[in-house]
Amino acid sequence: MDELLADIRELVECESPSDDLAAVARSADVVSAVGTARLGTPPERIVLDGRTHLRWRLGGAPTRVLLLAHHDTVWPLGTLERRPLVVADGVLRGPGCFDMKAGLVMALHAAAGLDGVTVLVTGDEEIGSPSSRGLIEEEARGLDAALVLEASADGGAFKTERKGVSLYDVRVSGLAAHAGLEPERGVNATLELAHVSLALAGLGDDGLGTTVTPTAARSGTTTNTVPAHASVAVDVRVCTRAEQDRVDAAVRALTPTLPGARLDVRGGPNRPPLEARSSAALFARARSLAEAMGRPAPPSASVGGASDGNFTAGVGTPTLDGMGAVGGGAHAEHEHVLVDRLVGRTELLRALVRDVLADRTNPSPADGRGRR
């Protein structure tokens, strides 16, 4: 426990907002030092588009298990000054502790001394993994398991389903005219945007868990001009790849309602869904191990938010997410970690990794699934 808490303090007290490349690089130095001490070897430092990621490939055997974490946070520099790391009454508080520096430390401790494991720590997850997505997918492809150290859901639940995400920018072109003198000569982009927004919202399906939400909208220039241009951002969340494909086709098939208006659809699927079938076997194995260790079996949760686990599941790798710290308040002022759950969760994570590595019924590296 003392070592876990000391390492979490080291990481939390080095602020690492995703949009500050220098801060993320400094954080990578700290993570590298902590990880080297725990794993006995330094990581590879991978800089992509200025963003710093770390990779440990452990032991001499081909990799079969990926432990996936990130060290960037949503908190700007200076947050630590007003919200310093504090441990009191069994609760650890501090910016980024729950999402997800405690989980990162758990991964480093759980992987110590193991063979056939890769620990990948990225530096841009909180802004959508723009530089690390390809790295994550390549590291995960063909492995027996990807275990994601994102924080748990309520009550310590593992995240066995995550919705996929699609993001769109739908742009409307109309024709400007004087709103008082001759509005009939214009093509009102604001009015067309209203039709488009209603059509988009109608693509959702409550029964299938699909949400299509028009969000930030922009239109017009002056109060006395028929607007010639408008746009709306669209957030789509889906439980299955089939739904993601259906909505994508429907968004691209939208046609304008007003004569003379034109639509331009940009964007598309951003993260594939983590479906229950991707996590079912690993979740069952984790529950069995917990019971064998004399601990309550963790529950499961389906969540709307996405993580890098969506990418590992998207390339066909069995994935279990939410294996990190128990607590709450991700991205919020009350972010916290329950101290008394740290050791047990880390031990269960290590037991699951060892169990996967020991399972010779899985396709072996000789079958082409392992990776160096």
Per residue in 250-262, pLDDT (tens digit) is 999 999 999 999 9
Please state at what angle helix 102-111 crosses helix 2-12, rounded to 10 degrees: 130
Per residue in 128-144, pLDDT (tens digit) is 999 999 999 999 999 99
Task: Report domain extents, the chain.
Answer: 2-162+273-367, 164-271
Residue 216's pLDDT is 97
CA gap 38, 40 in Å, rounded: 6
Residue 371 has pLDDT above 90, yes or no: no
CATH T-level assignment (fold) for domain 2-162+273-367: Aminopeptidase (3.40.630)
Concatenated DSSP letters for 140-163? HTT-SEEEE-PPPBGGGBEEEEE-
Per residue in 40-92, pLDDT (tens digit) is 999 999 999 999 999 999 999 999 999 999 999 999 999 999 999 999 999 99
Residue 28: CB atoms within 10 A of its CB come to: 24
Output the 3-class SS for 268-294.
EEEECCECHHHHHHHHHHHHHHHHHCC
Provide the mean pLDDT of the chain: 95
Confidence tier at 179 by pLDDT (50, 70, 90): very high
For residue 139, the number of C-alpha atoms closer than 13 Å in the C-beta half-sphere is 29
Per residue in 144-169, pLDDT (tens digit) is 999 999 999 999 999 999 999 999 99
Give strand ranges (E) for the chain. Answer: 44-48, 51-58, 65-70, 86-88, 91-93, 117-122, 145-148, 158-162, 164-173, 177-178, 211-219, 225-226, 229-238, 262-271, 300-303, 319-320, 327-328, 336-338
CA dihedral 356, 358, 363, 365 (to 10 degrees): 100
Residue 360's pLDDT is 60
Per residue in 33-49, pLDDT (tens digit) is 999 999 999 999 999 99
CA gap 31, 104 in Å, rounded: 9
Q: Does domain 164-271 have CATH number 1.10.3730.10?
A: no
**If you count DSSP H runs as helices and E runs as strands, how many of each does the chain have, helices first?**
10, 18
Residue 161: CB atoms within 10 A of its CB come to: 22
Global pTM reads: 0.89
Residue 359's pLDDT is 87
Q: Which whole number is the average pLDDT over 342-352?
A: 98
Q: 164-271: same fold as 2-162+273-367? A: no
CB 24 within 8 A of CB 123: yes
